Chains A and B, each alone.
Chain A
Amino acid sequence: MNEDFDQGLEVLNGQIDARVSSYFSSCVHCGLCAEACLFYTETGDPKYTPIYKLEPMRRLWFQRHTLRGKVAKRLGLSKEVTRQDFADWEELVYDSCTMCGRCSMVCPVGNDIVYMIRREREGFSKAGYAPEGMKAATHRALTIGSPMGVTLKTLRAVLVHVEKSVGRPVPIDLKGVDYMALFSSMEIVNFPEYIESLSRIFDAAGVSWTISSEAFEATNSGIQIGNREAAAELVGRVVNAAEKLGVKYVISPECGHAYMAIRWEGPNLIGRQYGFEVVHILELLDQLRSSGRLKLKDKTDTPLTLHDPCQIVRRGGVIDQPRNLLNEVASRFVEMKDHGDMNWCCGGGGGVSANDRAEPLRLKVFQRKKRQIEELGVDTMVTMCANCRIILEEGLEHYEMDTEVKMKSLTDMLAEHLEPSPG
């Protein structure tokens, strides 16, 4: 444990780059980031202030990266970062931060607090101070290939049902096609209808695609827990499979952190650009819509709203596409007061949903989303992240709203409104 802690401290120190240094140098502790964090707004507990979650990293930066800090440490005026600090902060770093990035949007000096949390987790994880649930998920991802333990056999069993329903085989390991689709375990296990929707839409739009039997899992527990080696290994599997099949594009599924992992962090993790492009499923569907290949027949008049998954929208830049698509199939789509790049998180991102001990807190902070839904009075909420969806469904159930408000996947909704092909 000693050795792990020391290594963790060194890893944490290694995470302090010019960006982090500029952020800590600029912070005046105004506390405005607290007002953007649902863990603070819903509990009123100041310890959940985003910048406070970085206190161990800030102290390390002060002592090792500033002249004043070095002198203060030598004179014994600055407290060393200890194991107890890591133990005390573990809850703040993992349980009460979904890495949603809302705080990063409001900081007056422009600090990207999530960038720092992501890096702080690298140190904590190396030191052994990470939630057991996330450790287990990362272990399963590395050994089985999925954080939920989903195997190829499980996927094939799901595909049998999909093929029966769609009436044609789902392509596996086809070489030379344009697209390789990835899924999150959550979709395979809880929402297999997404695979069915994808299959129907691609058939109708004439998209050549495949699934790889070697890499179909899109999520990346290594990024969530903060383990660069694990994260790189998981990204590498997808990259190898896609390059082996020779596809032009890899489709990131309806999963926020998967998109962050494969689209934005992946090349940096493996140290090179890919031989293909990564596209989010909604980016692709919007391209198909605008080029006339995705034909939708009608609109629902059900009052509904859109929940923006943080990593896809605020941290991923897929902002307009879901709105373009939703407006094609819904006549009474209303936005929440805070939406788009200022949406409120579902409360389960950043690995919080894989962290059992965080559940009571997660359900408490769900009150923010509950109020957002109540303000609108809609009876359907659409989203494009399977993890958000399950967290939102649990929250609605917890607050006994599940009979009034239904959750829907945007891709599923589009498939429902698909114009039947003439053939």
Chain B
Amino acid sequence: MIGDLIDGPLWYFSAAVFLLGVLWRVFEILRAGVARDLAPPRAGGSAGAVRALFSRFLPRRSLVKTGKLQLIAGYMFHLGLFALLFFAAPHVDFLEERVTGFGWTPLPHWAFIVASEVAFAGLLLLLLYRLMHPVTRLLSSADEYIGSVLVFVVMLTGCLALARSFEVLRLVHLFSAELLLVYFPFSNLMHAFTFVISRSYTGANMARKGVNA
């Protein structure tokens, strides 16, 4: 009974909240608008927007030394999570069945293990850093901790359910993922989408001034 609820209505509900919530947040951001820049530019902004969108995936050299723990942990977590989310065999099957209608080559089992270990280590390091460093401790609100814990729980239950031999574990994983989907649009996790907007604005504005941002 509960299983049917998690597998059916709750999944559709959480997916709908996620989709509509993300769209609403993007609308919330863009509706305020930005005044047209009247200063004659040195160059067009579009190329700068695209450049910043990609260049900010790499840190500035002068920051590599001082921010190395956050940077390394950040890469570990995000790359590991990306691999798990889109290339774990059960996810590929799930997405094919419920979302895309087509599948793709999943990660082999050993690669899944590596990706999950990397993602876990990254997430835990980031969480520890957030708790222990005076700067992140001062900046962080409940939002960051709730988001981190929810992602951790989803990843943990996902690993437990990997063998797909216990239906209960799969349902626990799906339920935690559904909670995450509902929480996502109203939290800082939205940065997974809004970074495209923020990087583009800055890249375009700075490019107009002749600066590669």
Interface residues of A (CB under 8 A from B): 16-23, 25-32, 34-36, 40-41, 46-47, 49, 51-52, 65-68, 104-112, 115, 263-268, 271-273, 277, 314-319, 337-338, 341-342
**Chain B residues numbered 128-159 whose CB sits less than 8 Å from any CB in chain A:** 130, 133-141, 144
Cβ of B52 under 8 Å from chain A: yes
Cβ of B2 under 8 Å from chain A: no
Assess A35 versus B209: contact at CB under 8 Å? Given A25-B29, A110-B203. no
- Are A49's CB and B135's CB within 8 A? yes
Q: How far is the CB of A250 from chain B (nearest CB, A)?
A: 13
> Given A21-B32, A35-B63, 10 other A-B contacts at CB below 8 A?
A29-B130, A29-B141, A29-B188, A35-B66, A46-B139, A68-B186, A108-B56, A115-B205, A268-B38, A268-B39
Cβ of B100 under 8 Å from chain A: no
Would you call the interface of chain B mostly helix, strand, loop, or mixed?
helix
- Are A112's CB and B60's CB within 8 A? no
- The residues of A that contact B38 with a CB separation of less than 8 Å are 267-268, 271-273
- The residues of B that contact A107 with a CB separation of less than 8 Å are 56, 202
- Are B198's CB and A22's CB within 8 A? yes
Q: How far is the CB of B79 from chain A (nearest CB, A)?
A: 14
Q: Interface digits, B162-205 against A, CB 8 Å rule (1 contact, 0 not)?
A: 00000000000000000000000010101100110111111101
In-complex Cβ contact of A112 among B31, B40, B62, B205 (8 A): B205
User: How long is the Cα–Cα vector from A212 to B194 in the complex, in angstroms?
Assistant: 47
- The residues of A that contact B32 with a CB separation of less than 8 Å are 16-18, 20-21, 65
- The residues of B that contact A47 with a CB separation of less than 8 Å are 138
- The residues of A that contact B42 with a CB separation of less than 8 Å are 317
- Are A35's CB and B67's CB within 8 A? yes
- Are A29's CB and B30's CB within 8 A? no
Q: Give the one of B32, B200, B203 with max A CB within 10 A.
A: B32
Q: Which residue of A lies closest to B33 (CB)?
A: A18
Assess A110 versus B33: contact at CB under 8 Å? Given A25-B25, A34-B135. no
- The residues of A that contact B60 with a CB separation of less than 8 Å are 105-106, 342
- Are A273's CB and B210's CB within 8 A? no
User: How long is the Cα–Cα vector from A297 to B213 in the complex, in angstroms?
Assistant: 37
**Chain B residues numbered 1-39 whose CB sits less than 8 Å from any CB in chain A:** 24-25, 28-35, 37-39
Chain B interface residue count, CB cutoff 8 Å, equals: 59
- Are B34's CB and A29's CB within 8 A? no
In-complex Cβ contact of B211 among A16, A31, A314 (8 A): A314
- Are A27's CB and B191's CB within 8 A? yes
- Are B39's CB and A263's CB within 8 A? yes
Assess A111 versus B198: contact at CB under 8 Å? Given A18-B29, A32-B63, A106-B63. yes
Interface residues of B (CB under 8 A from A): 24-25, 28-35, 37-40, 42, 52-53, 56, 59-63, 66-67, 70-71, 74, 130, 133-141, 144, 186, 188, 190-191, 194-195, 197-203, 205-206, 209-213
Assess A109 versus B211: contact at CB under 8 Å? Given A29-B188, A36-B63. no
Assess A23 versus B198: contact at CB under 8 Å? Given A29-B188, A342-B60. yes
Q: How far is the CB of B38 from chain A (nearest CB, A)?
A: 4
- The residues of A that contact B206 with a CB separation of less than 8 Å are 112
User: How long is the Cα–Cα vector from A23 to B203 in the complex, in angstroms?
Assistant: 13
- Are A26's CB and B194's CB within 8 A? yes
In-complex Cβ contact of B70 among A32, A51, A264, A342 (8 A): A32
- The residues of B that contact A35 with a CB separation of less than 8 Å are 63, 66-67
- Are A268's CB and B37's CB within 8 A? yes
In-complex Cβ contact of B197 among A26, A68, A318 (8 A): A26
- Are A31's CB and B56's CB within 8 A? no
User: How long is the Cα–Cα vector from A115 to B198 in the complex, in angstroms?
Assistant: 12
Assess A46 versus B205: contact at CB under 8 Å? Given A19-B34, A26-B198, A68-B186. no
- The residues of B that contact A26 with a CB separation of less than 8 Å are 190-191, 194-195, 197-198
